[in-house]
Amino acid sequence: MKFVDEYRDAKAAHELAECIKAVVTRPWTIMEICGGQTHAIVRFGIDELLPSEITLVHGPGCPVCVTALELIEKAIEIASNPNVIFCSFGDMLRVPGLHHDLLAVKAAGGDVRIVYSPLDALKLATENPDKQVVFFAVGFETTAPANGMAAYQAHRLGIRNFSLLVSHVLVPPAMEAILGSPHNQVQGFLAAGHVCTVMGYHEYEPIAAKYKTPIVVTGFEPLDILQGILMCVTQLEQGRYEVENPYSRVVTREGNIPAQKLLSDVFEVVDRKWRGIGEIKKSGLALRGEYRQYDAELRFGLADRKIEESPECISGLILQGIKKPHDCPAFGTRCTPEHPLGATMVSSEGACTAYYRYRGTTASGRRAG
Amino acid sequence: MTDDKNFALSCPTPLANYEQILLAHGGGGKLMHQLLESVVLPALDNVHLQPRHDASVFVVGNQKLAFTTDSYVVSPLFFAGGDIGTLAVNGTVNDLAMAGARPLYLSLGLILEEGLPVKTLSRVMASIKNTAAEAGVQIITGDTKVVDRGKGDGIFINTAGIGVVEHSLDVAPGSVRPGDAIILSGDIGRHGIAIMAQRAGLQFETTIESDCAPLHTAVQALLAGGIDIHCLRDLTRGGLASALNEVAQQVKLGIHIIETAIAVCDPVRSACELLGLDPLYVANEGRFVAFVPEKDAERALAILEKESVCRASSIIGNTTVEDAGLVLMTSTIGSTRIVDMLSGEQLPRIC
């Protein structure tokens, strides 16, 4: 398949791995931000090609994993309302709340639907004028423009029975939270290519300078990731800390300006809770001004609902790169994709699921049969 | 390891058991297996169910017979490359074929929803008639019921099938041996993507058609060619990954496959990339895997390549003593990973 096979070429992958081996002289810890990158790393076994000096840690860039328990509970409550058609991306349906998940709400009679675009949910609203249609707007800067567009269209067309349960999160504040933590082990970042497609990469330049940490804008295919690692390691070995963009076939420094304009028209930056990490200042988006009327939390009177998570949950440490899935005593025993204890085991992009599915339950590799 | 009581996990409460049936219980993955093992099979336990095969083989007089049943609840009823009628005939024909049987007779149970246009039923019946004729089976008994509006999805169909086993091989998971070659009978993922595209209203440059097809002719050709078939498994709901996992776990052998040997046509690959799906888990209705001794593998492949529904057959791997119960795959870049069984239905990824 064109534009895919070229980036999965075994020979080129091994050549890049050799280049990395030639450059590296001491241990380095690099974090890939995005869950899609984690997925590719374990799906293709990219880390098997790397020299032992390089440790990859898996960052908080999985929207399913970081959506706060509080919002999952709000989603479950709204979806249980018989007057509601609750729409979501597929992955979110299996995220456990306090007692159950959205799939269980569906089994109990709730109208819960998987859609591929928030605009499909908007269409459902026009087709079902006697129902409230709610879309679970999760994700990073990548999914925010489409959700912003749904709110914009709803407003423009006067569709009153549509609303968004917004849990958007932003990458740069999370990177700063990781780098600013006293436990931080991350020495370089592979920035999330799709987020940068929308936002550009200029906003990472102050972070790289402030924390003296290289940031390489990286795609999602094996060669993209190996190239990102090579450039990151080269910077580390040379003592440089710049923002570099080898994913230039998709990403520009400025990003997608019309999408950014839409985001600033529809959303405002707010403090947001991250599951397993806690509140990070100015790390989320919420509907602003005239678009607030499409905020499902306000519409269903849930804005003041607070549910606290205990700081002991290890998925938070995994999301910050402090622990690996194998370090959790429940991994692969009491916590499996069938019965996830935490969100990192739910999403196919979650670090724990990726390890469980592709790697087995022991640090050395394979699961016993 | 910390025991349950001392491990202060404050993450969401463990979901020990769902109290109601989820759609995922029918997805062909781990949840369905758990349901069968914990609720269904304990009530039925007998020797014929032990092999956990697509059809049961038993002896009446001097004749070995194979018997199977399957229900069809597909939505939409009509899709590119087939409809619920073609599925209902071919699915049961294929279950018999996977036991090495020659399918003879089918039953047909129709559950119709009040309000279904008679024209729709006529269309489905015409395709049942044509598919049965093509497969060389007769439908010799049946039943029709109607349920209230809202209690069905247009048409549900159940078919049962009976066939004769005319050889001395025991074509079942229990016959798989270490070192067996695994042959895949064509490219994967067409049926699942055809259905999904129709359901979600997705349009691609080329229409992806379901691979729905009868497989017994290909199996009969292998038998006629003297291939010492150890096991056959058709790839349905859970895709190639689930079929291989089921066999690996049942026979307690490892299975090693090579990603580059598994054919996926470009439109299906594109759709999977777009939707965040793994083609290994996408449904098929006209593909199977054959476990045969290494010495027979090339000859079996040559026989299959002559069959119209198996032209893109390939040897995708082999069974091993090590890594018992696991399916391992050499990825396109040469690394190894586990191919796990899914919990339930494959859910599209967010980004």
Say what the pLDDT of residue A367 is: 41
- What pLDDT is stored for residue B34 in this prediction? 83
- Give the pair of three-digit tokens for residue B188: 């994967």
Q: pLDDT category, B84, cuts 50, 70, 90?
A: very high
Q: Are residues A264 and A332 in the same domain?
A: no
The verdict on residue A364 lying in a domain is no
pLDDT at B50 over 90: no
B302 to B185, B227, B240, B296: CA distances (angstroms): 11, 11, 21, 10
pLDDT at residue A309, rounded to an integer: 67
Please check the confidence at residue A322 and state whether its pLDDT lies above 90. no
CA–CA dist B260, B330 (Å, integer): 8
Write out the two tokens for B248: 């690996």
Q: What percent of chain A has pLDDT over 90?
A: 64
Lowest mean pLDDT among A282-296, B77-91, B114-128, B262-276: B262-276
Interface test with A, best of B337, B343, B345, B346 (most A CBs within 10 A): B337
pLDDT in tens, B294-309: 999 999 999 999 999 9
pLDDT at site A363:
46
Q: Which residue of chain A is at minimal alpha-carbon distance from B344?
A: A338
Residues 6 or more apart whose CB falls under 8 angstroms from that of B188 comprise B235, B239, B240, B262, B263, B264, B268, B279, B280, B282, B284, B287
> B188-206 pLDDT, tens per residue?
999 999 988 887 776 766 7
Give, in order, the Cα–Cα distances in Å from A77 to each of A81, A101, A120, B307.
7, 10, 22, 54
Do A25 and A12 belong together in one domain? Answer: yes
In terms of residues, how long is chain A? 369
Question: Do A309 and A322 lie in a common domain?
Answer: no
- Average pLDDT over all residues of chain A: 90
* Residue A41 · residue A219 · CB < 8 Å: no
Do B98 and B55 touch, CB atoms closer than 8 A? Answer: yes
Task: Give CA separation, A156 vs A8, A166, A257, A267, in Å.
Answer: 43, 19, 21, 16
Q: What percent of chain B has pLDDT over 70?
A: 91
Of A288-297, B146-155, B203-212, which gets the smallest average pLDDT?
B203-212
| Among the ranges given (A189-203, A342-356, B74-88), the one the predictor scored with the smallest mean pLDDT | A342-356
Query: In the structure, what pLDDT confidence band is assigned to residue B315 with cuts at 50, 70 and 90?
Result: very high
Q: What mean pLDDT, rounded, does chain B reach? A: 89
- Pick from A92, A341, A360: which is nearest to B11 by CB? A341
Q: What is the pLDDT of residue B161?
A: 98
Decide yes or no: CATH 3.90.650.10 for domain B173-338: yes
- Per-residue model confidence (pLDDT) at position A351: 80
* CB-closest option in A45, A310, A357 to B333: A45
B53-165 shares its CATH topology with B173-338: no
Least CB-CB distance to A338: which of B4, B31, B275?
A: B31
Q: Which domain holds residue A354?
A: 316-358
**What tokens appear for B146 in the block?**
């109607």
B2 or A26, which is more confident? A26
Distance of CA A239 to the CA centre of its chain: 29
- For residues A206 and A193, membership in a common domain is answered with yes
**Overall average pLDDT of the A145-157 stretch:** 97
C-alpha–C-alpha distance, residues B33 and B56, integer Å: 18
d(CA B222, CA B214): 15
| pLDDT grade for B211, boundaries at 50, 70 and 90 | very high
A231 and A339 housed in the same domain: no
**Is A89–B14 a contact, with Cβ atoms under 8 angstroms apart?**
no
What tens digit of pLDDT does each residue of A241-299 get? Answer: 999 999 999 999 999 999 999 999 999 999 998 887 788 999 999 999 999 999 999 99
Q: Where are the domains of chain B?
A: 53-165, 173-338
Domain-embedded: residue A253: yes
Residue A310 banded pLDDT, cuts 50, 70, 90: low
Are A252 and A343 members of one domain?
no
The pLDDT of residue A360 is: 62
Nearest in space to A327 (alpha carbons), one of A278, A361, A277? A361
CA distances from B57 to A197, B60, B63, B149, B206 (A): 58, 10, 10, 39, 41
Number of domains in chain A: 2
- Cα separation, A37 vs A58, whole angstroms: 9
Q: Which residue in A307, A346, A366, A367 has the most chain B C-beta atoms within 10 A of its own C-beta, making it the best mutation to test that interface?
A: A366
For residue A361, pLDDT over 60 is answered with no
Instruction: Tell whether A331 and A278 lie within a shared domain.
Output: no
A289 in Cβ contact with A317 (< 8 Å): no
CATH 3.30.1330.10 correct for B53-165: yes
pLDDT at A357 over 50: yes
Reply yes or no on whether the pLDDT at A45 is more than 50: yes
A304 plus A328 within the same structural domain: no
Asked if B16's CB is within 8 angstroms of A339's CB, the reply is yes
Tell me the pLDDT band of B4, cut-offs 50, 70 and 90. Answer: very low
Q: Where are the beta strands (DSSP E) in chain A?
A: 28-34, 54-61, 84-88, 111-114, 132-139, 162-168, 188-192, 215-218, 243-244, 267-274, 278-287
Q: Are residues A140 and A265 in the same domain?
A: yes
The Cα of A60 is separated from the nearest Cα of chain B by a number of Å equal to 14
Asked if residue B8 has pLDDT above 60, the reply is no
pTM of the model as a whole: 0.84
Please report, for the domain that includes residue A51, its CATH number: 3.40.50.11740
CA B340/CA B350 separation, integer angstroms: 20
Chain B positions touching A43 (Cβ under 8 A) are 278, 331, 337
* Position B345 pLDDT exceeds 70: no
The whole-number pLDDT of residue A348 equals: 63
The pLDDT value given to residue B14: 32
Q: Are B1 and B7 in contact (CB under 8 A)?
A: no
Q: What digits encode the pLDDT tens for the residues A90-127?
A: 878 878 788 888 988 998 999 999 888 899 999 999 99
> Do A350 and A330 belong to one domain?
yes
Optimal mutation site among B264, B269, B351, interface A, most CBs of chain A within 10 A: B351
Strand partners of residue A133: A85, A162
Chain B residue closest to A72 (CA)?
Answer: B12
pLDDT band at B23 (very low <50, low <70, confident <90, very high): confident
A116 and B200 within 8 Å at the Cβ level: the answer is yes
Residue B350: pLDDT band with limits 50, 70, 90: low
Rg (chain B; Cα; Å):
21
Q: Do B9 and A97 touch (CB under 8 A)?
A: no
Task: Please say whether the beta carbons of A39 and A65 come within 8 A.
Answer: no
